[in-house]
């Protein structure tokens, strides 16, 4: 039996890096005071306890998830490989800001090489494989209820883009397409992107529109894609 699956992918609250402050690497940037407030407000948005709380291992995601974990202390907590896309590798030097790293980022995306790896970083191809492994893992989970995943902007976009395009093994053209998608898609701090997998023959879908302000689930019990029953 295939369970109906609902997932909230939650971007972390504002980090020191987001605020333009220097950081010592992609995984250690903590939340700002504003980010901590956003995390508390995010926790309050849940109308009931999720079935599972998941976070990346990066500090800003763990700190954002902490507020929800503290509100629902009986809910299991796990860390999964849903960390941010760290394509700069060693070019993300100590005590550098986003602006200082921007030329390296532009050079990376201009290459449009899905296999290129900066020292200690991750390739674009590996990111898309990781996004699809995340979806496969979600499909196999036994929990019957909402799974809350505290993660990062580029990873969330990689999941959405792969679902929308069907790309699982990107070439240079696909990487350019993702770059365009990235520029056209905003995921603010503590934004929620909902994924839904019905019990029928279809896979995960991206829910097109925020409904976290509603008490009920944002999806109906239909098992056919929107449009086929309209």
- pLDDT by 10s per residue, the chain, length 230: 456 789 999 999 999 999 999 999 999 999 999 999 999 999 999 999 999 999 999 999 999 999 999 999 999 999 999 999 999 999 998 999 999 999 999 999 999 999 999 999 999 999 999 999 999 999 899 998 999 999 999 999 999 999 999 999 999 999 999 999 999 999 999 999 999 998 666 789 999 776 665 655 544 434 333 333 33
The domains of the chain are located at 5-206
pLDDT per residue as tens digits for the range 9-30: 999 999 999 999 999 999 999 9
DSSP letters, the chain, are -PPPEEEEEEE---BTTTTT--BSSTT-PPB-HHHHHHHHHHHHT-SS--SEEEE-SSHHHHHHHHHHHHHSTTS-EEE-S-----TTGGGS-TTB-HHHHHHHHHHHHHH--TT---TT---HHHHHHHHHHHHHHHHH----S-EEEEE-HHHHHHHHHHHHH--SS--HHHHHHHHHHHHH----TT-EEEEEE-SSS---EE-SS--TTSSS-SS-S--S-TTS--
Classify domain 5-206 at the CATH class level. alpha beta
């Amino acid at each position: 039996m295939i369970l109906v699956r609902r997932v909230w992918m939650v971007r972390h609250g504002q980090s020191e890096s987001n605020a333009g402050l220097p950081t010592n690497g992609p995984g250690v940037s903590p939340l700002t005071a504003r980010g901590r407030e956003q995390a508390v407000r995010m926790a309050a948005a849940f109308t009931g306890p999720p079935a599972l709380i998941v976070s990346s291992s990066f500090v800003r995601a763990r700190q954002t998830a902490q507020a929800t974990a503290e509100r629902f202390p009986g809910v299991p907590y796990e860390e999964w490989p849903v960390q941010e896309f760290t394509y700069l590798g060693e070019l993300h030097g100590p005590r550098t800001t986003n602006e200082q790293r921007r030329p390296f980022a532009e050079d990376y995306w201009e290459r449009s090489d899905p296999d290129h790896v900066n020292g200690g970083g991750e390739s674009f191809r590996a990111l898309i494989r990781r996004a699809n492994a995340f979806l496969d893992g979600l499909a196999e989970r036994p929990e019957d209820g909402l799974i809350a995943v505290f993660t990062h902007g580029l990873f969330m976009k990689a999941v959405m883009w792969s679902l929308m395009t069907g790309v699982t093994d990107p070439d240079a053209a696909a990487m350019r397409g993702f770059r365009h998608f990235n520029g056209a898609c905003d995921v603010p701090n503590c934004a929620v992107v909902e994924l839904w997998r019905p019990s029928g023959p279809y896979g995960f879908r991206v829910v097109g529109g925020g409904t976290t302000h509603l008490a009920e689930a944002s999806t109906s019990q239909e098992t056919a894609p929107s449009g086929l029953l309209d």
